[in-house]
Amino acid sequence: MHGVWEPLRAWFASEGLQIFDPQKNSTLMTVTPQINEIRAHDGTYSTHYGPPRIAHEHRRAVHCIARTTDGRDVLIRLITRAGQGHEELHVLQHIAIGHRAFLGDNHCLPMLRTLVLEDMTFGVFPFMYAGFTSPWYHNVGEVFDAVLQVLQGFKFLHRHLIAHRDVGADNILINFTEGQMAPMGESGQRPFPFRGLFPVRYYIIDFELSTRFPEDSTPDQRVVTGLPLLRHGYDHPDDYGRDVAPEMLLDAPYCPFKSDIFQLGKDSVIVFVRSPKEADCNTCAQYLILFYNT
């Protein structure tokens, strides 16, 4: 990561973004801000158990964590390069900026700004925690809130004719700063009411495989063929890394909105039932469709 982003450090600084520094002697790719100060409040929350974490784990090569001149931590994402990624950019420009980004049922992570350098387009997003499953839920009410928010978010996407096509718990964030989630020394006990400490909101991210259909298209035109990774030249299910809807393996066109719901159902079984071989996936899918249509 350091070698990819380091040559751009001065350019990002000229745009008001200070790239985090890799932490020395760290076994993980951990990065810290150049100035060791607590971040400014930016709509995310911490807990009473400790201050927001200063160091963050870097996760993907197309991501870089930075701090703005007014102290907010953000994630810079490389969206387009060498002619690729423009479909993702168009999706984000439709739902992650402007008035749609303020709508209450829109759970797409807002894009704060875009930066262009030669053939590259970078999106700047609020930095949030990948906490859909961690820490674990304190009670059933928290589970229902999470599921309903995520379903609301996908219903919004589908209403705007956007199929995500890469549904998974790792593509759902929570408005938490990272940091201490429970009292020291008690992390192994029953989950603490972490989500009861602040107004939790879940966000959907990662639209690099998404498809947006024209508003004047008809339902029979809103179809795709094959695996989502075909656009990048990959045609094997193992390369996809997600639950594969049966229709994805056929040559016939299929509705990507339905495959989104299939992946939501399978992922919900794995996350909440924790035993997909024993779970009734059809029943789970029926409940999701019921929630989705209400």
CATH class of segment(s) 129-293: mainly alpha
Residue 170, burial from CB neighbour count under 10 angstroms (0-12, 13-18, 19+): middle
Residues 218-235 have pLDDT tens digits of: 999 999 999 998 887 777
Question: Residue ranges of the domains in the chain?
Answer: 2-126, 129-293
Say what the alpha-carbon torsion angle 252, 257, 262, 267 is, to the nearest 10 degrees.
130
pLDDT score at 26: 57
**What is the chain's pLDDT, residue by residue, as a tens digit (294 residues)?**
456 788 999 999 999 999 988 776 655 577 777 766 777 788 888 777 766 666 666 667 889 999 999 989 999 999 999 999 999 999 999 999 999 999 999 999 999 999 999 999 999 999 998 888 888 888 889 999 999 999 999 999 999 999 999 999 999 999 988 777 777 665 556 667 888 888 999 999 999 999 999 999 999 999 999 999 888 777 788 888 888 999 999 999 999 999 999 999 888 877 777 544 444 555 555 555 555 565
- Rounded to whole angstroms, the Cα distance separating 187 from 178 reads 15
Name beta bridge partners: 212: 162
Residues 6+ apart with CB under 8 A from 278: none
Number of Cβ within a 10 Å radius of residue 19: 22
Q: Under a CB-based contact definition with an 8 Å cutoff, are residues 110 and 96 in contact? A: yes
Cα–Cα dist 88/67, whole Å: 24
Distance CA 74, CA 77 (A): 10
CATH number of 2-126: 3.30.200.20
Strand 73-80 relative to strand 63-68, pairing = antiparallel
Contacts by residues 51-57 (CB-CB < 8 Å, ≥ 24 positions apart):
51/179, 51/180, 52/177, 52/178, 52/179, 53/177, 53/178, 53/179, 55/23, 55/30, 55/31, 56/20, 56/30, 56/31, 56/32, 56/127, 56/178, 57/28, 57/29, 57/30, 57/31
Q: What's the predicted TM-score (pTM) here? A: 0.87
* The one-letter amino acid at 60: R
Interatomic CA distance for residues 181 and 138, integer angstroms: 12
pLDDT of residue 50: 66
User: 250-261 burial by CB neighbour count: b if 16+ within 10 A, else e?
Assistant: eeeebbbbebbb
Q: How far, in Å, are 23, 36, 152, 278 from residue 206 at the CA level? A: 26, 29, 17, 30
Distance CA 43, CA 52 (A): 13
pLDDT the model gives residue 237: 85
Q: Which residues contact 3 (CB under 8 A, 6 or more apart)?
A: none
Asked if 76 contacts 20 with a C-beta cutoff of 8 angstroms, the reply is: no
Q: Say what the pLDDT of residue 278 is.
A: 45
Cα distances (Å, whole numbers) of residue 156 to 101, 249, 292 = 11, 27, 10
